[in-house]
Amino acid sequence: MIAWLRQHRRALAGAIARLAKASGLASAIVIGVALSLPAGGYALLENLRGLAGRLTLEPRLSVFLRPEAKRAETEALGAALRADARIAAARFVPREEALRELKATEGIAEVVAALERNPLPDAFVVSAKDQGAAALDALAADLRRLPAVVHVQADADWARRLAALAGIARLALAFLAALLGFALIAVTFNTIRLQILTRREEIEVSRLIGATDAFIRRPFYYLGLLQGLAGGGVALAIVATGLALLNGEVRVLAESYGSAFRLAFLGPVDAVAVVLLSGLLGWLGAFLSVSRHLR
């Protein structure tokens, strides 16, 4: 057992020494650059998701009343909405409450404060039972015909469009990650192939004097794993640098809207996952190369 551990330690030390050489570092950088694209894209999407998460994605209809609508008209409309079987809930939002919510919104508080009078109408926020697009459209059309109603707005439309775009981006990113994962395997495969060619004599002699296949293959597996892990680390460094540079401009843009929004780096679990996945793919590349070239 001790001898086995000693052999692993020696193989690991040899792999670290090989990785520290210029060719090993160059391969790790290539892997890191390739991985930084999906990792960076993922970080941006996560930020976008965080931003979109603050918006409601539940399809709701805002039913705005005529500014001159009487209290009785408002109550009648409320009763009509609650009686409609297609409506799950209807919440009355008085114009004063709407103004308070608007004042609480980042970036436009000063604009609202500058208004001489409340320009907002009373409104009902309606949640539909059937949240399908056709049902919502039909409901909105019917609500528009009700007395005292001046406008009906589907609140979640643009948020849903954003979510759909994010979904497409996520799919594209997954495809890119898979593609670059293959590239990582190919880079490691080739690096290990060159290492095997460079050390062919040593391998031949070792075999002749009693080295097992496991002993001969072990340093290459370690090299592939370390190269992948180092590549993952390089990718994280690139993403962190890129986000830090972008945040300079994002800060200016966000502050112009009165927001403190910043692009955040990947969470600890995601960051560790990037490095581990990269290491795993590196090991896989080494395994395939060794299986192909060390028979």
Distance CA 79, CA 170 (A): 43
Cβ atoms of 215 and 264 within 8 Å: the answer is: no
- Which of 92/215 has CB closer to another protein? 215
Of residues 4 and 257, the one with the C-beta less far from another protein: 4
Helices 213-256 and 22-53 cross at an angle (nearest 10°) of 40
CB of 11 to another protein, least distance (A): 10
- Residue 227 C-beta: closest distance to another protein, Å: 22
Buried b (16+ CB within 10 A) or exposed e, 220-239: bbbbbbbbbbbbbbbbbebb
Options 4-12, 121-129, 154-162, 176-184: segment touching another protein (CB under 8 A) = 4-12
Residue (4 or 175) nearer to another protein, CB: 4
Which residues in 143-202 contact another protein (CB under 8 A)?
201-202
Cα 103 to chain center, whole Å?
31
Beta bridge partners of 61: 126, 154
CB of 198 vs another protein, minimal distance in Å? 9
| 111 forms part of the interface with another protein (CB under 8 A) | no
- In terms of CB distance, is 10 or 161 closer to another protein? 10
- Angstrom CA distances, 175 to 38, 60, 178, 254, 270, stand at 9, 33, 5, 31, 18
Please, are residues 69 and 95 in contact by the beta-carbon 8 Å criterion?
no
Chain mean position to CA 114: 38
CA distance from start to end of the chain: 26
Total number of residues binding another protein (CB under 8 A)? 18
Binding mask 6-35 for another protein (x = CB under 8 A): xx--x-------------------------
Site string for another protein, 199-238 (x = CB under 8 A): --xx-xxxxxxxxxx-x-----------------------
For another protein, the closer of residues 8 and 292 by Cβ is: 8
Q: Which residues bind another protein (CB under 8 A)?
A: 2-3, 6-7, 10, 201-202, 204-213, 215
